[in-house]
């Protein structure tokens, strides 16, 4: 069973659209949650942490549902520069290593 599951996409959306990505995690002992962004052949970079109460950073909103073991990322007013792979990342309680999902590929079209 995969620790972190994501829809691989691809999601092709027009500029200005709103797009949502979902992620589920299998281990209820997971304690920390993140969304990372990875451009083609580049390293992952932290986009935002995900808090239980939900959090927003500009056009990006992250939500966590611990009961359903589900994380989401909403991107509003998509820009061409948002084109990337979005990685759902989880850390288990007592661990330090990151578990990555396979990522969801987003392409924003002019």
Least distance from C-beta 49 to another protein, angstroms? 7
* Under rule CB under 8 A, residue 35 binds another protein: no
Among 22, 49, 72, 107, binds another protein (CB under 8 A): 49
Question: How many other CB atoms sit within 10 Å of the CB of residue 72?
Answer: 17
Among 9, 76, 100, 107, binds another protein (CB under 8 A): 100
Least distance from C-beta 103 to another protein, angstroms? 7
- Among residues 11, 20, 96, 104, the alpha carbon closest in space to that of 60 is found at 20
Distance from the Cα of residue 1 to its chain's centroid: 19
* Under rule CB under 8 A, residue 42 binds another protein: yes
Residue 3 near residue 97 (C-beta atoms within 8 A): no
Question: How many other CB atoms sit within 10 Å of the CB of residue 20?
Answer: 13
Q: State the residues that interact with another protein by CB under 8 A.
A: 31-32, 38, 41-46, 49, 87, 91, 95-103
């Amino acid at each position: 069973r995969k620790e972190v599951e994501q829809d691989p996409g691809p999601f092709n959306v027009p500029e200005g659209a709103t797009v949502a990505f979902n992620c589920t995690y299998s281990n209820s002992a997971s304690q920390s949650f993140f969304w990372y962004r990875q451009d083609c052949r580049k390293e992952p970079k932290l986009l935002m942490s995900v808090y239980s109460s939900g959090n927003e950073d500009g056009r990006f909103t992250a939500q966590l549902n611990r009961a359903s073991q589900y994380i989401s990322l909403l991107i509003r007013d998509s820009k061409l520069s948002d084109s990337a792979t979005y990685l759902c990342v989880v850390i288990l309680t007592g661990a330090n290593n990151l578990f990555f999902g396979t990522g969801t590929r987003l392409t924003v079209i002019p």
